[in-house]
A and B are shown apart, each in its own frame.
Chain A
């Protein structure tokens, strides 16, 4: 009798689970609980420290390759890292290999540079979208102007003050790739390893575990994972943003998953042994 009732739980309409999850995620967004975000992951800290130690004026290349689908996780990461770069007076270059991210890049640079009085062309440069990432990455190893002769607004890239003394990877201090695709793997394999330039990244929480081997060998200098990573980075640069505000939902969502898995297994045990 009990068994039959319990077995019904396994055949529960998945839409019920969807509904519970929606409520759990939505409620804290509407009414924040203010749960603490106390620990900072080692890889996030490493990324932060690597950038923090760069001397002012160093050139950092951002490869922002995420489209609106992964925006909630990756946009806060990108904003936090760019804020950090501007705060440290680093020169920022932006490239992208995903057409959908051009709009998001535009959104970042409409607001963030103003906070630090940074000027387009003098302190940062945005290059246009390019297809075929591997080919572009290889080309940039010898002469980046071979591909990016103009910036996004059609200005001659070589003459921009921000590009002074920058020709290829040898003149860059760090490459940061923020992506929900395999682009970070390409940066590591085709650029980081081949041309010995430091690479750090930001990825979605779902693909974060896959980068363990690269982090161990130092092929990645640091890694920010998901919205939690963004929140951690925001707390490191002391500029809370969208990442920090999403932490409550993230907390409750995770706990719900745990409860569901536990319940499912307890029910399984009861069915099996009672």
Chain B
């Protein structure tokens, strides 16, 4: 009974609200007598989930047919009446059912019978304020009469004209999530507007991307496997397949020592944030340690100053460990140019003049790969290359004696140092590959079977599971 009463009051209040509200909107209604189309029903305004904030998701009951050319006008206000700001015009053919919002099934339940519209309000409520900013001098002057006197005397002599005066300062007051807002949607067709509908809602800055749960779970699994592998590292020896390119390092350095010629180590054109460059610095450490032991010469031309600084440290440490700190010189690592082809030209020049016995290309390489490797090959050097840029691998294969492919480059640090912790981390890499292989294999079968049997929701679930959001 009470329920019914409540419902009645609710409907009544909604109706009156709609009546009152349609008044201002109807101010614009030229053809209210013959509305072009039925008004919107069941309007809701909810926060757009899993976003940074400032966006609201308006939804209403989808109409069976919307006349072509219909435009939805959306207004926002922080007041219940008046103060409406137009958030935008949205052509009806661009408004999709809420089930078409690209979110996975565990994070979103859309409906085909509800139309949904994302409206950004953050920008609408941001505004500029111009105030006066007081400098430190300004504040000091307010406190000290002595300072005031000195400054006014100086200014009397035409010095420090504007000093000590507050300056105008404009700052942007940003929209804050959580403010209750009112939304109004009007459907318009050829200048005729249907009755406006109003609803309350607010936006929020969310704390978790539930849609990325699949990604997070995978991450957690890999982290667990990673720590398990690393903590069980020292128990027994681990088999690691031979990598010919890394075994050849000794041979190359030995040859250089015999010939009395230098070794060039080219770390490529990547920055220090690149994984291949980091891997390259590991290998440089091992190579330069051997160079120090054999008392050979090494030269490392650089493209990136930060990489150079890191490599300096690595080489210095390697010489120290080999017990030859006296052989270390600061100009082993030197900067050449941060222009790709200037770098290539310069390194090519050095290689063709000095005719090194061995050249290493380890790291990130682009179009200069063949320019470098071909010159090295014609100068007769033994060449070992390694990169994770697949498009450059063919060039290294043809011009170098040994080439490390992507992961081999990453594994090189572990392979050369034989440190059990690093070796066991390679296990994680294998586990990852196994996981991918199994998923690809079963994924293909399941999707194919699903498609054959027309299990659309089932396919949806599988595709959702493997998609990045």
Contacts and interface: CB of A to CB of B under 8 A. Distances in A.
- The answer to A–B direct touch (Cβ < 8 A) is yes
A181 B340 contact: yes
A55 to B, nearest CB: 11
A170 B367 contact: no
A268 to B, nearest CB: 16
Contacts of A209: 391
Contacts of B366: 180-182, 207
B363 to A, nearest CB: 13
B340 A67 contact: yes
A193 interface: yes
Nearest to B390: A210
Interface string B364-384: 001100000000001000000
B52 A142 contact: yes
Interface in B382-413: 389-391
Contacts of B339: 67, 100
Interface string A198-210: 0000001011011
A206 B468 contact: no
B123 A180 contact: no
A214 to B, nearest CB: 13
Contacts of B389: 182
A193 B378 CA distance: 43
Contacts of B341: 67, 69
Interface residues of A, number: 19
Interface string A176-198: 00001110000000000100100
Contacts of A207: 366-367, 391
Nearest to A170: B120
B367 A167 contact: no
A67 B389 CA distance: 20
B340 A210 contact: no
Interface string A130-174: 000010000000100000000000000000000000010010000
A77 B367 CA distance: 19
Interface in B440-462: none
Contacts of B123: 167
B340 A69 contact: yes
A70 B378 CA distance: 25
A181 B102 CA distance: 32
Interface in B44-77: 52
Interface in A5-33: 14
Contacts of A204: 367
B348 to A, nearest CB: 14
Contacts of A181: 340, 366
Interface in B98-157: 102, 120, 123
Nearest to A180: B367
A254 to B, nearest CB: 17
Interface string A55-72: 000000000000101100
A155 B319 CA distance: 53
Contacts of A134: 273
Contacts of A206: 367, 391
A202 B40 CA distance: 45
A14 B377 CA distance: 13
B128 to A, nearest CB: 10
A132 to B, nearest CB: 9
Nearest to A203: B391
Interface string B328-370: 0000000000011100000000000000000000000011000
A65 to B, nearest CB: 11
B266 to A, nearest CB: 18
A204 B367 CA distance: 10
Nearest to A181: B366
Of A67, A69, A100, A196, the most chain B CB neighbours within 10 A belong to A69
B52 A210 contact: no
A86 B468 CA distance: 35
Interface in B251-279: 273
Nearest to B102: A196
Nearest to B123: A167
A204 B366 CA distance: 11
A50 B65 CA distance: 29
Nearest to B366: A181
B280 to A, nearest CB: 16
6 pairs of A and B residues whose beta carbons are closest in the complex: A210-B391, A69-B341, A207-B391, A181-B366, A206-B367, A180-B367
22 contacts: A14-B378, A67-B339, A67-B341, A69-B341, A100-B339, A134-B273, A142-B52, A167-B123, A170-B120, A180-B366, A180-B367, A181-B366, A182-B366, A193-B468, A204-B367, A206-B367, A206-B391, A207-B367, A207-B391, A209-B391, A210-B390, A210-B391
Given A181-B340, A196-B102, 9 more contacts: A14-B378, A67-B341, A69-B340, A70-B367, A182-B366, A206-B391, A207-B366, A209-B391, A210-B390
Interface of A: 14, 67, 69-70, 100, 134, 142, 167, 170, 180-182, 193, 196, 204, 206-207, 209-210
